[in-house]
Every structure is written in C-alpha cells, then in structure tokens.
C-alpha cells in the first residue's frame, strides 16, 4: 500500500504519466506506472492537468521576523504552488538560529542564503560597516546549519555598501573560497543594484557557480551597455560559469532588458520572484507563477521556464533530491494548468505586456503527504 498515486498527469511535452509516492519519495513514475498498485490516496488528473517536479523559488524573503522584507514561507510557498523556497539573505548569523526554528515548522521546504552581514537585512545598509562581517561567526553558522544554509548572500549596491565599494564582496569571496575548500556545495549569490560599485567590477570577481541576482534590472548597473549590447564583463562571467537569476522583486525586473538580453542568448538559469509581503499583495510580483508567465510573453518555451524553477535551481543550489520526476527523489509535485487566457503583466518599471497564456498552479504536494490547494474550483473538480 503506497501513500499516494497521481494518475494520468500530463508532462509539459504532452506525455501522460502516473506518479507513485511512498515514505516521502517517488517510488515509481512513468506511463501506467500505477497499474495494479493501491494507495491510501489517489489523485486522477485525467490527462488534462500538468504535473512537474515541485517548483523551487530560488530567491525569496520569507523570514517572518525580518523588519524590512518578510513573509510567511507557506504563503509564498505551498499556498502558491511552490514546494521549496530559498530565502536570499534576510538573516545573518545573529538570527539564523531563530529562522531555522521557524523554517522547520513549515509544510514548505525552506532553505537560506546566509547574509554575510551578521545582522542580515535589519537595515538597508548592512554592509556600510565592515565590522558587520565576522568571518569566524559566519563559518560557524554555515557549519551549524549545514543543509539549511545552502549559500552566502552579498548585496552589492550603493545603498547597502555605502563608501565600502567592492570590499564586502572581496571579503565574501575570500570566505567563500575557504568554505568551498571543505565543500563545493556553497554558491555565493550577489545582488546588483545602483552603482557604485560598477557591475563590471562585480562581475570580474565572480567565479563558476556564483549567482548574479536581479540580472534583468533596468538600473544603471544593468547587464546591457548604452547600445543595448551585452556587456563584455557579463559575457566573460557567463563563459566562466556564473549563473543568472531573475530575482524580479519590486524594482529589479525590466521587460526591455530581459527581451534584449534574451536576443543575445543570455537566458536566465533560474527564474525567481524576490517575493515578500508587500510585492506579493501589491505587485508587481504577486507569485512565482506570475513571474514565470512573464517569460511566456518574452517567447521563452514553457519547458525551458519549468526547468528554471525545477531542475536548474536543484542543480545550481545543490539540492540533489529535488527538481526532477525520478524514482528515489523527493515526492514534491506541482499540479498546474497552462491556460490560454489574456493577462496584463507589469514589470518593475511599470511597463505592460499582454500575455495570452499563463501558468496557474492548482496544488502543491510536499513529500507525498501535504497537499496544499491553490486553485479551489479545479481542486474541487479533482477531489483534492
């Protein structure tokens, strides 16, 4: 007797599969995989609704006690069709113990990038004082919360670093190098905003596996030059294996920049929301699904978009049991529609695009046991 069988789910390529989950893991997957098997619970999608590995939002702000950017992990996670959320530096080592205790109570899987400033994002300028970077305490926090802390976060914009320029990033890279000598599974996520420091200086310090987040922002530190070409420093960084993360947020996504960058083949490796309560409720983010839908309007194929919220972040953030529908991996599933209907979409600059198709999450299934409904009417139809 298995815990859950999902029958006749549709993959994004149109194939119809069954998924069998037991003890939190995928026990079998494929066409007719559930034939002859019994389970405590069944969901029959009748070949009409899509399934994928559970969606991963690689850049959120979900530490509820953070004073500036905060939200509830289960609201931006499971209740929005997202099975895994990664907080991008809301907490430093001062608060990481408490954040860990909060995260463990959630249905949604929660991970964290540890802010290199010990205070985290209690203030907008956490790196204006270099004494906030305590290398020994950072290392201890990473060690203490191995498996929860999956990377480091440095916010490199004028409002954050003050007069310190590149120094916080230089210190972060030195620490990062030490930590990666012990484990190769610790990416560094770097926020780019208004200069100084300049993007070119930041990009030239980054190495394979480092992440540039807010990669399609429309600020002066954008990845395009004045003629609309991809900056040489970004081209060099991409050739070294530096990762592009969307990190939409309130002020950090431009349709124009994204369109132009994609023309040069600079597709995002990860599509993330940078969601927190204010931009979830008042926009322009609303949800990860809404951000994914914006890339449909940019002509990115649905399968590529799904990879940017499943397999790609699982690989790049070193979450080895997530991101794919394969036997032995975590039983995290997102059920969704790809619906043909008109939608008005806004970027962070107020630009509007009209979409004709959108991602609509129906339910998030976490470890095969927690089934969280997003779209009530469809869920009722499926007896969820």
Rounded mean pLDDT of 366-371?
95
Rounded mean pLDDT of 267-284?
98
The predicted-structure confidence for 254-264, as pLDDT tens digits, reads as follows 999 999 999 99
- Report yes or no on 83 lying in a domain: yes
Residues 243 and 334 in one domain: no
Pairing between β-strand 352-366 and β-strand 333-346 as defined by DSSP bridges = antiparallel
Mean pLDDT of the residues in the chain: 96
Residue 337 and residue 49 in contact, taking contact as beta carbons nearer than 8 Å: yes
Instruction: Please enumerate, by residue number, every residue annotated as part of a binding site.
Output: 59, 61, 153, 191, 214, 274
Residues 74 and 142 in one domain: yes
Rounded mean pLDDT of 7-26?
98
Domain count, the chain: 2
| Residue range(s) defining the domain that contains residue 332 | 2-52+327-338+357-373
The predicted-structure confidence for 138-173, as pLDDT tens digits, reads as follows 999 999 999 999 999 999 999 999 999 999 999 999
Q: Is the pLDDT of residue 379 over 80?
A: no
Q: Which of 262, 126, 115 minimizes the C-alpha distance to 189?
A: 115
Residues 175 and 231 in one domain: yes
What token pair was written down for 203? 């990009």
CATH number at 31 reads 2.30.40.10
Residues 43 and 84 in one domain: no
Q: Is the pLDDT of residue 383 over 90?
A: no
Residue 82 and residue 45 in contact, taking contact as beta carbons nearer than 8 Å: no
Rounded to whole angstroms, how far apart are CA atoms 140 and 119? 15
Residue 336 and residue 360 in contact, taking contact as beta carbons nearer than 8 Å: yes
Residues 147 and 272 in one domain: yes
What token pair was written down for 316? 């790049």
pLDDT value, residue 108: 98
Residues 148 and 29 in one domain: no
Looking at the DSSP bridge assignments, the partners of residue 20 are 5, 28
Instruction: Please enumerate, by residue number, every residue annotated as part of a binding site for Zn(2+).
Output: 59, 61, 153, 191, 214, 274
The predicted-structure confidence for 119-134, as pLDDT tens digits, reads as follows 999 999 999 999 999 9
- Report yes or no on 226 lying in a domain: yes
């Amino acid at each position: 007797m298995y815990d859950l069988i999902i029958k006749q789910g549709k993959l994004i390529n149109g194939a119809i599969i069954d998924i069998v989950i037991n003890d939190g893991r995928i026990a079998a997957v494929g066409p007719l995989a559930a034939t002859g098997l019994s389970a405590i619970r069944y969901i029959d999608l009748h070949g009409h609704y899509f399934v994928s590995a559970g969606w991963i939002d690689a850049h959120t702000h979900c530490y509820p006690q953070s004073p500036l950017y905060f939200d509830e992990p289960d609201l931006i996670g499971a209740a929005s069709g997202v099975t895994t959320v990664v907080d991008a530096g809301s907490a430093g080592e001062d608060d990481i113990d408490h954040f860990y205790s909060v995260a463990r109570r959630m249905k949604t899987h929660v991970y964290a990038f540890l802010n290199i400033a010990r205070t985290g994002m209690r203030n907008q300028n956490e790196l204006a004082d270099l004494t906030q970077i305590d290398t020994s305490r950072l290392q201890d926090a990473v060690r203490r919360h191995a498996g929860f802390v999956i990377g480091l976060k440095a916010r490199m914009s004028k409002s954050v670093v003050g007069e310190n320029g590149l120094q916080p990033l230089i210190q972060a890279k030195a620490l990062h190098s030490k930590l990666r000598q012990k484990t190769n599974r610790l990416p560094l996520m770097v926020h780019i905003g208004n200069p100084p420091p300049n993007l070119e200086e930041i990009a030239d310090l980054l190495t394979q596996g480092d992440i540039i987040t807010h990669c399609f922002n429309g600020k002066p530190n954008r990845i395009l030059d004045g003629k609309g070409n991809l900056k040489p420093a970004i081209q060099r960084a991409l050739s070294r294996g530096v990762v592009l993360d969307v990190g939409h947020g309130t002020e950090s996504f431009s349709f124009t920049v994204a369109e132009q960058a994609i023309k040069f083949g600079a597709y995002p490796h990860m599509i993330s929301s940078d969601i927190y309560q204010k931009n979830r409720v008042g926009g322009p983010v609303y949800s990860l699904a809404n951000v994914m839908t914006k890339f449909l309007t940019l002509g990115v194929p649905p399968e590529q978009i799904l990879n940017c919220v499943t397999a790609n972040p699982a690989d790049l953030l070193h979450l080895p049991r997530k991101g794919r529908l394969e036997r032995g991996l975590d039983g995290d599933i997102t059920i969704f529609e790809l619906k043909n209907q008109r939608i008005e979409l806004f970027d962070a600059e107020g630009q509007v695009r009209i979409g004709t198709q959108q991602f609509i999450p129906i339910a998030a299934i976490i470890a095969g046991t927690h089934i969280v409904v997003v779209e009530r009417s469809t869920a009722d139809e499926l007896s969820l």
